Amino acid sequence: MMKRFTLILSMLVLMGIGMTVQAQLADGTIAPDFTVTDIDGNTHHLYEYLDEGKTVVIDFSATWCGPCWSYAQAGTLDDLYEERGPDGTNDVMVLFIEGDASTNTADLNGTGGNTQGDWVSLVQYPIIDGVDGSNLATTYSIAYWPTLYTIAPNRLVSESQQVGIAEYEAVIEANQAFLPSGANNAAVLNMPSPSVTCGDLSPVFTVQNIGTSNLTSLEASL
């Protein structure tokens, strides 16, 4: 199995530290790993799926959320799971995360007082509820429902919005570029325009190993 890692290189002439606090995970963030158990007792390990070359789509929802219910009724992610999940091409995993700690199992099954309906009957892909769901919503800094994330095999997150299956298919095909290839393959993930302050150049870029061998060193030059 490939040992994948991401390295952020910063070549600074002037020393400086900056921090930005964001409510949601920004596109291009490395996805936090997790292992959760769905309501049928099956275990799901994010990095295991990604290391198998799968794209993972995560649907963070709440049982009382009207837009979440409407998107689930549209069946987009059910279709994606059927076509590209374990019983299809098996290059995608879709997970439903009921992330609101204030809801309960009755709400998930449509019999509680804080629900849009029977989610268990409606959603055909794996459902994670309870402590696993609420903890994962905290880990992923969920600020609103629904929040939909697509995670590429190289572990980078992008927010999906409530798009149709054609848009998901396009993203999944693009993610094939991040499958392991070659023995030594250091990919530059992003190269923002460098900032110049008083004549000093301070470029920051991210490099990730997408090769099949351990990457032990690299050289960078301007």
Per-residue pLDDT in tens (0 to 9) along the chain, 222 residues? 444 544 444 433 322 223 333 458 998 899 999 999 999 999 999 999 999 999 999 999 999 999 999 999 999 999 999 999 999 999 999 999 999 999 999 999 999 999 999 999 999 999 999 999 999 999 999 999 999 999 999 899 999 989 999 999 998 888 776 655 555 656 655 555 555 556 565 666 566 565 556 766 666 665
Residue type, 107: D
* pLDDT value of position 184: 63
Report d(CA 31, CA 73) in Å as an integer. Answer: 27
Contacts of 2 (CB under 8 A, 6+ apart): 51, 180, 209, 210, 211, 212
Bridge-based pairing state of the strands 127-128 and 92-98: parallel
At 28 the pLDDT is: 86
Compute φ and ψ for 8, nearest 5 degrees: -100, 115
* Closest CA relative to residue 50, chosen from 145, 146, 120, 152: 152
- CB crowding 135-171: b at 16 or more within 10 Å, else e: bbbeebebeebbbbbbbbbbbbbbebeeeebeebeee
- The CB density around residue 131, as the number of other CB atoms within 10 Å, is 11
**Two structure tokens written together for 66:** 């009207």
Secondary structure letter of residue 30 according to DSSP: B
Res 73: pLDDT: 98
Tell me the sheet residues that pair with 204.
Answer: 10
Gap between the Cα atoms of 91 and 98, Å rounded:
23
Residue 205, burial from CB neighbour count under 10 angstroms (0-12, 13-18, 19+): middle
